[in-house]
Amino acid sequence: MTLTIYAIDSQFAAATGSNVNSGAGTSTFDYPPSSTHSLIIQSLPGDTTPYLFSPGDTYTLTFSGQGGDTITAATVIRSDYINVGGDEGYAIVFEGVDSDGDLTHLVWTPEFDLESWYFNNFDAGNSPGFYNTDTNASTTYQAVCFEASMRVEVPGGMRAVAALRPGDLVTTYDGGAQALQFVAARRVRGWGRHAPVEFAPGLVGNTRALVVSQQHRILVSVPEKAETYGAPQVLVPAVAFVDGEGVRVRPRDWITYVHLLFEGHELVNCEGVACESLYLGAMAQRVLGAVDGPGHDERMAGEAEAFLDLFAARAGQRPARPFLTMREGVSLLRALSGRPARQGAMLLGPGQKNARPYRLDPGRGLGGPGGAGLPAFASLVEA
C-alpha cells in the first residue's frame, strides 16, 4: 500500500539554502512560511507502517512555491509531540536533497498551526527556527554493510563480498591480510533507512559503481584539518556524500547487504575506495541481533546467535579513524569542494531521548470526525 497525504498549508514550512543548519543543531525557517504551499507526502512502496513517522523512515515530498521541488528519499530526522502554551500537536522534520543537490529541511506539524506560531514569534525581521537534531537520529539506526555484489581486495585480486566466509583473508589498509571473524548476509526491503547509497563510477576513485548502506563510512583525507579532527584522515557516512547527481540514495525493492567483521575495526579496498568494516559497537549488536527473531530462517538466526556470542566475548573495538556524523560530513565535504558553508529560535527543543514518534490518525482529516484540536491533514489516499 502507498499512502499519499495532502498537508494543510498552514501546517508546514521549509528551510532551504543558508537557512539549513544555520546554527548548532538548528535550522531557520524560510521567510515567510506561506511562501511554500501544496505539500504532498507519499510513502514508498514496501513501507509496512506508513502511518508511523519514526526517525530514519523515508518518504517522497513534493511542494510548491519558494524552493518548490520534489525530494525523493526525504528522511525523518525528528518526530516529536509539541505543546506550546496549551496548543498541542506534532512536528515531523524531514531532511533531503533537492534537485540542485542542496540539503533541505521541511517541517510538517499535523494538528498544530505552524504559520500562526511563526508570526507570533517573528521578531524584528528575525525568522524563528527549529532544532533539527534528535537524540535518536537516523545516524544511529543502521549498521554498516556492503551490497552483496561489491568486490573487496583480497590477496591475489578482488572478490565479491557475498562469496566471503569466516577465516578468509582480506587485504586491509593498516594490517595487511586479515582473517574475517564473522560474515552475515541480510536481505531486506531497499526502502527508507535501508535504501542504499550509490556512487557513480569515478566519483570517489571507484572503478565501478559503489553501493553501500547509508551509514557505511568512507575514508576522507583532510591533512589541512588534522588539528581539528585529531588525525589527517576521517571516516564520513556515505549518505553525507549525496548530491542528487553522481551520488544518490537509490531505493530498490529488495537488497542483500553483507557485513564483514574483523578482529579490529579495519579499512578495506572496495571497488577502489577505502571503506570501513563492521564496527563492533552497541549499534551492530542491535541491528544484527534483530535478525534473531520471528520471520527469519534458521540460517539467519544462527548467524545472529554466532554474532552475539562473539560480541559478548569481545571488548569494543577502537575506530580505525575518527568518525564524523552525517552533518559534520556534509559540512566537511562542502568545505573541501569549495561550496559555501551552512550558517545562524525554536519550535522544537533539543532532541528528546524518549520522543514520541507521530502516528497519523486517518480520522483526523479536514472536515472529518477527528476530535479535539486541529485537523492533521487536508486529505489522504491509500493505493
User: From the first residue on, what is the mean pLDDT of each consecutive set of 10 residues in the chain (383 residues)?
Assistant: 94 91 82 91 90 90 90 89 85 91 92 86 77 50 80 98 97 97 84 79 95 93 84 91 81 86 95 94 49 37 45 67 84 78 52 69 82 85 92
Whether 32 is in a domain gets the answer: yes
Residues 121 and 238 in one domain: no
Residues 128-163 have pLDDT tens digits of 898 876 543 333 335 679 999 999 999 999 999 999
Residues 94 and 50 in one domain: yes
Q: Which residues contact 369 (CB under 8 A, 6 or more apart)?
A: 363
Whether 185 is in a domain gets the answer: yes
Question: According to the model, what pLDDT value does residue 249 have?
Answer: 77
Whether 39 is in a domain gets the answer: yes
Q: Are strands 157-160 and 217-221 parallel, antiparallel or unpaired?
A: unpaired
Residues 184 and 122 in one domain: no
Residues 209 and 72 in one domain: no
Q: How many domains does the chain have?
A: 2
Question: According to the model, what pLDDT value does residue 193 have?
Answer: 63
Question: What's the CA angle centered on 213, arms 142 and 183, to 5 degrees?
Answer: 80
pTM of the predicted model as reported, rounded to 2 decimal places = 0.55
Whether 327 is in a domain gets the answer: no
Residues 22 and 44 in one domain: yes
**Residues 324/325/327/330 CA torsion (nearest 10 deg):** 40
Whether 336 is in a domain gets the answer: no
Residues 147 and 292 in one domain: yes
Whether 297 is in a domain gets the answer: yes
Residues 156 and 298 in one domain: yes
Cα dihedral 250, 251, 254, 255 sign: positive
Q: What is the Cα–Cα distance from 328 to 275, expressed in whole angstroms? A: 18
Residues 104 and 162 in one domain: no
Residues 194 and 233 in one domain: yes
Whether 331 is in a domain gets the answer: no
Which of 286, 321, 356 is the last residue before a domain boundary?
A: 321
Residue ranges making up the domain that contains 315: 142-321
Residues 225 and 88 in one domain: no
Whether 328 is in a domain gets the answer: no
Residues 284 and 167 in one domain: yes
CATH code for the domain of 242? 2.170.16.10
Residues 353 and 235 in one domain: no
